[in-house]
Amino acid sequence: MLGIIRQKVGSAGFPASIVGQALQRVRPTAFASRNYSTAAKEMTVRDALNSALDEEMSADPKVFLMGEEVGEYQGAYKISKGLLEKYGPERVLDTPITEAGFAGIGVGAAYYGLRPVVEFMTFNFSMQAIDHIINSAAKSNYMSAGQLSVPIVFRGPNGAAAGVGAQHSQCYAAWYGSCPGLKVLAPYSSEDARGLLKAAIRDPDPVVFLENELLYGESFPVSAEALDSSFVLPIGKAKIEREGKDVTITAFSKMVGYALKAADILAKEGISAEIINLRSIRPLDRSTINASVWKTNRLVTVEEGFPQHGVGAEICMSVIEESFGYLDAPVERIAGADVPMPYAANLERMAVPQVEDIVRAAKRACYRSVPMAAAA
């Protein structure tokens, strides 16, 4: 801990968070990788998102939801179940099929002072609206010199589902993460989903909120604190899901679950992996990642998206910039295959990182096996 505090801290605002992180580490880490609180209540990610939307809409009449199928159909993935009935068609709008249209309308409403939550059926469809997300939402506060603020949230499932093919499986974390003016969040657990969505809705800047279809049905324990309607998680702060001392593994969204399983397997072989749930792609919590690398000296980044210009590439560069002297091994990057997602189940499985890939990468980083380059 002393080592961490002694290190050069990038800029203002971080020392407090480092202490906060340190305090978090003092909490007992349970054996099942997900139990980080003493609560008994479990909640699916779907219910977590639904309750977050419900509470924010109830607290602030300016918040409204807009998207395809969000109203009468109760949401394409049932995330907005019950909201139309509770808040009426003025606040839960079923839109015609025009992503560009309703993204633009959402931005216009935000310009004028409402707080829209715009749902894309999947972020693949957000490409039809990407001009509005980038040019109308992300850049407006800057271009108008602070006169046009855009407190909008774009949310929806991101990344691969199961057997949905190339046009429904791309991960957009890297694309949106590269754009200044946007904040990009990627929750994993129900607590993440609740806290981050509430924070996103309350945030005055445009937020891209990347969910995951396969996580919607998964249950996680939630603490009483997380169930409170004033619960928010800070944007820009990663979470150490599991402490370790031998290798740092960063992941976000579904890959956090995979990384945790990989950590179990590695533990049996005597490698203690520290799993960081990024939670926030932009701003990236560089200090938590770097502090972890100072401790473990090895890094593996995991993501589902395409490898080139991915989130892992940015993390790797951040670590090289701040912690080069601490690395004992080259940074290992696990990403999806550099191909449009195939449909056949066996091919799809090979195009997305699996737990075994993470285990092998961690071992390579720990010099327990031959590096990939040397094997080529």
Q: Tell me the site size for other proteins, rule CB under 8 A.
A: 49
Cα(320)–Cα(327) distance, integer angstroms: 8
Instruction: Kindly give, in sequence order, each residue whose CB lies less than 8 Å from that of residue 235, ignoring residues fewer than 6 positions away.
Output: 183, 185, 196, 199, 200, 203, 207, 280, 283
Stretch that binds other proteins, among 4-12, 300-308, 322-330, 341-349 (CB under 8 A): 4-12
Task: Respond yes or no: is residue 309 known to be catalytic.
Answer: no
99, 274, 314, 348: which is the annotated catalytic residue?
99
Instruction: Provide the angle, in degrees to the nearest 10, between the axes of the packed helices 14-26 and 286-296.
Output: 50
Stretch that binds other proteins, among 10-18, 244-252, 260-268, 339-347 (CB under 8 A): 10-18
Cα(231)–Cα(225) distance, integer angstroms: 7
Give the closest residue to 102 by CA, choosing from 114, 118, 91: 118
Pair type for strands 207-211 and 183-185: parallel
- The label of the residue with tokens 């907005």 reads 80
Residue 12 as a binder of other proteins (CB under 8 A): the answer is: yes
Task: Respond yes or no: is residue 168 known to be catalytic.
Answer: yes
Report in angstroms how near the CB of residue 102 gets to other proteins at its nearest: 7
Stretch that binds other proteins, among 6-14, 40-48, 216-224, 339-347 (CB under 8 A): 6-14
Do residues 245 and 15 touch, judged by C-beta distance below 8 A? no
Residue 20 as a binder of other proteins (CB under 8 A): the answer is: no
Sign of CA dihedral 9, 364, 238, 310: positive
Do residues 113 and 64 touch, judged by C-beta distance below 8 A? no
Residue 180 as a binder of other proteins (CB under 8 A): the answer is: yes
Residue from 24, 98, 167, 229 touching other proteins (CB under 8 A): that is 98
Minimum CB distance to other proteins smaller for 100 or for 265: 100
Q: Which of residues 211-240 bind other proteins (CB under 8 A)?
A: 236
Token digits for 67?
A: 């998207």
Other Cβ atoms less than 10 A from the Cβ of 104: the count is 18
Residue 13 as a binder of other proteins (CB under 8 A): the answer is: yes
Report in angstroms how near the CB of residue 255 gets to other proteins at its nearest: 24
Q: Which of residues 300-359 bind other proteins (CB under 8 A)?
A: none
Report in angstroms how near the CB of residue 62 gets to other proteins at its nearest: 8
**Region class of 9: left (phi > 0), else alpha (psi between -120 and 50), else beta:** beta
Residue from 140, 253, 288, 297 touching other proteins (CB under 8 A): that is 140
Q: Which of residues 53-72 bind other proteins (CB under 8 A)?
A: 72
Residue 146 as a binder of other proteins (CB under 8 A): the answer is: yes
Stretch that binds other proteins, among 104-112, 167-175, 260-268, 368-376 (CB under 8 A): 104-112
168, 213, 218, 348: which is the annotated catalytic residue?
168
Scored b (16 or more CB within 10 A) or e, 238-272 reads bbbbbbbebbbbbbbbbbbbbbbbbbebbbeeebe
Cα(94)–Cα(108) distance, integer angstroms: 17
Minimum CB distance to other proteins smaller for 71 or for 310: 71
Residue 8 as a binder of other proteins (CB under 8 A): the answer is: no
Minimum CB distance to other proteins smaller for 210 or for 235: 235
Residue 144 as a binder of other proteins (CB under 8 A): the answer is: yes
User: What stretches of 33-160 adopt beta strand conformation (E)?
Assistant: 42-44, 63-67, 92-94, 115-119, 153-157
Binding site for other proteins (CB under 8 A): 10-14, 72, 90, 93, 95-96, 98, 100-114, 116, 131-132, 135-136, 140-149, 180-181, 183, 203-205, 236, 283
